[in-house]
Structure 1
Amino acid sequence: MFAWLAIERKEAKSRRRVALFRGLCELAAWRRFVSNLAESG
Structure 2
Amino acid sequence: MTLWSLLAHGLETTEIAERLHVSERTAKRLVASLIQRVGARNRI
User: If the length of structure 1 is used for normalisation, what is the TM-score?
Assistant: 0.41
In our comparison, the structure showing a higher alpha carbon Rg is 1
User: If the length of structure 2 is used for normalisation, what is the TM-score?
Assistant: 0.38
Specify which structure has the bigger relative contact order, considering alpha-carbon pairs within 8 angstroms and separated by 6 or more residues: 2
Structure with a larger share of its residues in helix: 1
